């Protein structure tokens, strides 16, 4: 049964792939160039939260998309919140 709300890297990696305008097949090829084998079904399973990706796969995935691996795991840093001013960045 698929996860109803995939969390963590699954959300970011799908968004990153789509932002780069890549199909799953194109991403499979790019990840393969990083020395990691995965299928389109594997990509789909991770993106949809059905399977967890290994650290090795996530690192290759990030490199294939030209982003820092930590941005895949943790996402971009958010601006600091100023105390007493909800929603306002420092």
**57: CATH:** 1.10.260.40
SS3 of residue 60 by DSSP: helix
Residue 80 domain-assigned (yes or no)? no
Assessment of whether the complete model's pTM goes beyond 0.85:
no
Residue 52 domain-assigned (yes or no)? yes
Q: In the predicted model, what is the mean pLDDT of residues 26-49?
A: 93
> Bridge-partner residues for 89, per DSSP?
81
57 phi, psi to nearest 5 deg: -65, -45
74 with 67: CB under 8 angstroms? no
Tell me what pLDDT residue 11 has.
54
Q: Taken in order 78, 83, 89, 90, is the CA torsion positive or negative?
A: negative
Residue 50 domain-assigned (yes or no)? yes
Count how many domains the chain has. 1
Q: What is the mean pLDDT of the chain?
A: 77
Residue 68 domain-assigned (yes or no)? yes
Task: Tell me which residue range forms the domain holding 32.
Answer: 9-74
Collect all residues with Cβ–Cβ distance below 8 Å to 6 and sequence separation of at least 6.
47, 48, 49
Say what percent of the chain tops pLDDT 70: 68
The confidence band for 50, taking pLDDT boundaries of 50, 70 and 90, is: confident
Tell me what pLDDT residue 37 has.
95
């Amino acid at each position: 049964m698929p996860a109803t709300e995939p969390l963590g890297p699954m959300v970011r990696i799908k968004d990153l792939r789509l932002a780069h305008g890549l199909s799953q097949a194109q991403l499979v090829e790019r990840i393969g160039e990083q020395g990691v084998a995965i299928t389109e079904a594997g990509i789909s399973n991770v993106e949809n939260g059905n399977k967890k990706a290994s650290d090795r796969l996530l690192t290759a995935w990030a490199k294939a998309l030209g982003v820092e691996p930590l941005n895949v795991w943790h996402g971009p840093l958010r601006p600091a919140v100023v105390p007493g001013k909800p929603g306002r960045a420092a």
